[in-house]
Amino acid sequence: MRLATRAAALPAELDVNRFVLEHGRLPFLSDPIPPWHYRGWLLFQVQLADGHPEAPGRWSHYLRTFEAGHLLDEPIPRINFSSTADPAGLKMVEKCVELLSYRDSPWSAFGLFVAWLAWGMAVSKQRPQIEEATSEALYRTFNFEPLILHPYDYLGEFLAGHQTKGWNPNAFFPTPHAVCELMTQISFGEITHNVAKRQSYGLFHTGNSSIEGERDPRLRTVNEPAVGTGRLLLHASNYSYRLSGMDKDKLVLDICLCNGAFYAPWLSFPFPKSILKRASGDSESTSSVGTSPAQPCPRAA
């Protein structure tokens, strides 16, 4: 099962799920409607790339959990974020922004590129208005391979690295990945011990969840009140499914949701309460990322 969005979410001619079910493939450039018109077209490719030997297997884990209807009797697949970005990934982002810079300032072009990604990753319901020739150029230029094989907050790094000529007006500067990892290790030291113990017993989901009365450690809630591009939540995703955050800057929230779609599906597409309730025995909320104070950020329905 590889569904980027629900089948009824869009008109038939723009529903990538319906297209895949009818044609047995993703949209091609040669089709009457090119790929970038379909919400979630890029998300399908990311899901398929999850089968790469060097990919962490997060999307496979996520989809198998949905199919099972409960949390799996296995740990969360670990993803190790690099302390530095892959230069090829940053260069690719720069080329994409340059393709849009003819329209307006580089700052506006970056925002438009993020909107283009958010539509393709199905975390936004609004397709950006970009000329067809430029959309095709973006389609041919964007390459998510370095982003998948060298996990890092590339968009956040690119944003923070530009501080002049009207860039970054909200003064966003992310916490370095190494610091995020250290903070996560400090916060989840006990969880790490519990996970190791559960692995030794083969106990993770509700049917065999009790070790000395402990609760499934993957259900520990993590909230980031100034989430930014989501770095802390990305590192916390190695331990928990229940991630939430908020921020007043919609641009960084869109980046956060794109990062979640790349690296931690349950951040951008939360598990329904029914799956978490079967594991925890309660009805507490799932993951969510929203604007401050409580307005939800666009994400797949």
Helix and strand numbers (H, E) in the chain are 14, 4
87 contact partners, CB below 8 Å, separation of at least 6: none
Residue 69: pLDDT above 50? yes
Provide the token pair at 29.
């450039």
pLDDT value at residue 212? 43
Q: What is the pLDDT of residues 175-229, one digit of tens each?
A: 999 999 999 999 887 655 555 555 544 444 444 444 444 578 899 999 999 999 9
Helix (H, G, I), strand (E, B) or coil at 192: helix
CB 152 within 8 A of CB 80: no
Which H helix or E strand runs over 234?
helix 231-236
Q: What is the pLDDT of residues 223-242, one digit of tens each?
A: 999 999 999 999 999 999 99
Which H helix or E strand runs over 291?
strand 288-291
Please give the Cα distance from 273 to 289 (Å, whole number).
Answer: 16
Average per-residue pLDDT for the chain: 82
Greatest Cα pair distance in the chain: 62
**Can you point out the beta strands (E) in 140-187?**
none
